[in-house]
Amino acid sequence: MMKTLITTWKHQFVLCFKCATLPQLVKHRVDDDLLSECYGEKASAKYWCDIYEKETNPEAWFYTSKDHRASLHTECVLGDCAGLMPGRTLTCYLIPFEVVLNNSVTRPLCKHCKSRCMYNIMLKKPGTSGTYFCSISCMSNVTFVDHLVKTEGKIDS
């Protein structure tokens, strides 16, 4: 797969399209204030993602709170559906999925990972009342298995 790159020769800087289009400010439930995008910090202490509960690399893109007490992976804040437009349809193995906002009081359970969908954008299987996926990864895993069962008739364990 070919990546689209955005370059500036004057500053000798190259970004992939995904990084170039990350929002500079985002609202997330971990903080009352907006989170700001950061990159390339030289840190003496460890940065810790409060969502994933793993170390964050301060030399890569991440989000931080106003007081810099929280550092969060971009994927943990945005999810892998961040570039998708709510109201559109995504097709995987000829199966359509609606791109929907996750803005209700109760967050639905993901059909694949069985956890609450924590991202602002998620996927829903049309024609069902409760078949949700929290990410493209979860949707792809279930859809691929369903596709194998339908085309091959069985799955070897």
CA–CA gap between residue 78 and residue 76 (Å, rounded): 6
Q: Is residue 157 part of a domain?
A: no
Indicate the residue type of 73.
H
Contact call for residues 32 and 43 (beta carbons, < 8 A): no
E-strand spans in 30-151?
35-38, 47-48, 55-56, 62-64, 71-73, 89-92, 95-101, 121-124, 132-133
User: Are residues 51 and 14 both part of a single domain?
Assistant: yes
User: Are residues 15 and 54 both part of a single domain?
Assistant: yes
User: Are residues 43 and 64 both part of a single domain?
Assistant: yes
User: Are residues 72 and 123 both part of a single domain?
Assistant: no
Q: Is the sign of the CA dihedral 46, 47, 52, 53 positive or negative?
A: positive
Query: pLDDT per residue over 72-114, tens digit each?
Result: 888 888 888 877 889 999 888 788 999 998 887 788 999 889 9
User: In whole angstroms, how far apart are CA 50 and each of 19, 105, 152?
Assistant: 21, 22, 42
Q: Is 50 exceeded by the pLDDT of residue 24?
A: yes
Q: Which range (23-27, 40-44, 131-135) has the least confidence?
A: 40-44
**For position 9, what pLDDT does the model report?**
65
User: Which residues are registered as beta bridge partners of 92?
Assistant: 95
DSSP state of 34: P
User: Are residues 47 and 103 both part of a single domain?
Assistant: no
HSE at residue 155, side-chain half, CA atoms within 13 A, is 9
CA-based nearest residue to 110, from 148, 139, 74, 144: 139
CA–CA gap between residue 3 and residue 25 (Å, rounded): 24
CA-based nearest residue to 50, from 66, 29, 67: 29
CA–CA gap between residue 4 and residue 153 (Å, rounded): 39
Q: Is residue 84 part of a domain?
A: no
Q: Which range (63-67, 112-116, 130-134, 149-153) has the least confidence?
A: 149-153
Domain final residue pick, 55, 78, 101:
78
DSSP state of 144: H
Q: Is residue 120 part of a domain?
A: yes
User: Are residues 93 and 142 both part of a single domain?
Assistant: yes
Q: How many domains does the chain have?
A: 2
**For position 11, what pLDDT does the model report?**
65
Q: Is residue 129 part of a domain?
A: yes
User: Are residues 63 and 95 both part of a single domain?
Assistant: no
User: Are residues 50 and 96 both part of a single domain?
Assistant: no
Q: Is residue 83 part of a domain?
A: no
In which residue are the tokens 């949707």 written?
139
